Amino acid sequence: MSRTVYVNGTYLPEEEAKVSVFDRGFLFADGVYEVTSVLDGKLIDFHGHAQRLQRSLGELGMTSPVTMDELLDIHRELVTRNDLSEGMIYLQITRGAPADRDFVFPGPDTPPTLVLFTQAKGLIDSPAAEKGISVISIDDIRWGRRDIKTVQLLYPSMGKMMAKEAGADDAWMVAEGFVTEGTSNNAYIVKDGKIVTRHLGNEILHGITRAAVLKFASEAQMEVEERPFTIEEAKQADEAFVTSASTFVTAVVAIDGVSLGDGTPGPVARRLRDIYIEASRKAAI
Ligand code: PDD
């Protein structure tokens, strides 16, 4: 069935949704995005995503064409119109479509482009959640501002393909000897009960799920250390996992072909997933 999508103030069938060939998102990857998950027809951590969106826009000198309250209404309207119970809402804002291709940013007479659409997907019950995923390590050759959630996703996309070709599910990226993050998630290891994940900085995306999971972990008296770790250290860990809006907390059971623990999701990852889902469901709006 055709989805109803949102483009620049209008709700319309996906077949009729159009963006200009001069759109800077299309020509220059000049845009930012957010992915917000939906459970029971409600939004998980909307305010966290809205806040990060504003930060991404600010870092690139862009502005949102709508207020964050209006954005919440649009998310809710799309959930209703598409009868979405479980899945994600994808949002993208680009620097708009000037009259021609030009490296120089357009002036204020070019409004930003705002697009949102829904993706129905089972997030709670998935083979990855049940069995865990395997990852390979690859060089992190992305640009230096990975804290901005831009739509420049070619390398993460290539990383997923490298993983697929190697018979794995995903890739962890490594810069200067240390793991930065997964292609579309934040990366963690667990050793002797302690959770280790890279500290925030320009090198990684400041995951909204990461912030929630670290808060829940501390509240549950779990020890957390925010510091860089190597792939060698990760291979010797008791457990590993990733977090993102679309995977919540998902165990990593093998790294570069080396099994962790008994090769099944470990107790810390399983517990954090349960806590995260329960708490997020309660707080969903
Ligand atoms: N990706 N790191 C990267 C590189 C990401 O692309 C993502 C999210 C995360 C996790 O952020 P959050 O917890 O806020 O979802 C970390 C989204 C889900 C995507 O591109 O589909």
User: Using one digit for the tens of pLDDT, what is the confidence trace for 172-191?
Assistant: 999 999 999 999 999 999 99
pLDDT at residue 34 in the model: 98
Give Cα 196 to chain centroid, integer Å: 19
Q: Is pLDDT above 80 for 1?
A: no
263 alpha carbon to ligand 1 midpoint, in Å? Answer: 25
pLDDT at residue 139 in the model: 98
Q: What percent of the chain is predicted at pLDDT more than 90?
A: 99
Ligand 1: does its nearest atom lie under 6 Å from the Cβ of 208? yes
Phi and psi based region of residue 38 (left: phi greater than 0; alpha: psi -120 to 50; beta: remaining): beta
- List the beta bridge partners of residue 194: 191
Which pair of structure tokens corresponds to residue 36? 């917000």
264 alpha carbon to ligand 1 midpoint, in Å? Answer: 23
Which pair of structure tokens corresponds to residue 184? 């579309």
Residue 146 CA: nearest ligand 1 atom is 4
- List the beta bridge partners of residue 42: 39
pLDDT at residue 228 in the model: 98
Alpha-carbon separation of residue 91 from 18, 71, 79, 234, 262 (angstroms): 15, 10, 13, 33, 39
* Strand duo 42-43 + 31-39: pairing: antiparallel
| Domain 4-120 identical in fold to domain 127-283 | no
Ligand 1 mutation pick, 205, 215, 242, 247, max ligand atoms within 8 A of CB: 205
pLDDT at residue 83 in the model: 98
φ/ψ of residue 233, rounded to 5: -60, -40
Of residues 149, 160, 191, 235, which has the active-site annotation?
149
Contacts of 16 (CB under 8 A, 6+ apart): none
149 is catalytic: yes
Residues 212-218, mean pLDDT to the nearest whole number = 97
What are the pLDDT digits (tens) for 126-168? 899 999 999 999 999 999 999 999 999 999 999 999 999 999 9
56 alpha carbon to ligand 1 midpoint, in Å? Answer: 13
What are the pLDDT digits (tens) for 99-122? 999 999 999 999 999 999 999 999
pLDDT at residue 15 in the model: 97
Residues 207-217, mean pLDDT to the nearest whole number = 98
**pTM of the entire structure?**
0.97
Q: Is pLDDT above 80 for 29?
A: yes
The closest residue, in CA terms, to atom 16 on ligand 1 is 185
Residues 26-46, mean pLDDT to the nearest whole number = 98
Q: Residue 183's closest CA among 140, 222, 122, 225? A: 140
What are the pLDDT digits (tens) for 62-101? 999 999 999 999 999 999 999 999 999 999 999 999 999 9
* Rounded Cα distance, 64 and 105, in Å: 16
Residue with tokens 């109803």: 4
Q: Is pLDDT above 80 for 241?
A: yes
Residue 210 CA: nearest ligand 1 atom is 13
pLDDT at residue 184 in the model: 98
Ligand 1: does its nearest atom lie under 6 Å from the Cβ of 32? no
pLDDT at residue 93 in the model: 98
pLDDT at residue 71 in the model: 98
Ligand 1: does its nearest atom lie under 6 Å from the Cβ of 186? yes
Ligand 1 mutation pick, 147, 158, 184, max ligand atoms within 8 A of CB: 184
CATH superfamily of 127-283: D-amino Acid Aminotransferase, subunit A, domain 2 (3.20.10.10)
Cβ(213)–Cβ(272) under 8 Å?
yes
Helix (H) or strand (E) holding 191: strand 186-191
Rounded to 10 degrees, what is the CA torsion of 50, 53, 55, 56?
170
207 alpha carbon to ligand 1 midpoint, in Å? Answer: 6
35 alpha carbon to ligand 1 midpoint, in Å? Answer: 8
Contacts of 143 (CB under 8 A, 6+ apart): 152
What CATH number is given for 4-120 in this structure?
A: 3.30.470.10
pLDDT at residue 128 in the model: 94
**DSSP designation for 200:** P
* Domain coordinates in residue numbering, the chain: 4-120, 127-283
pLDDT at residue 100 in the model: 97
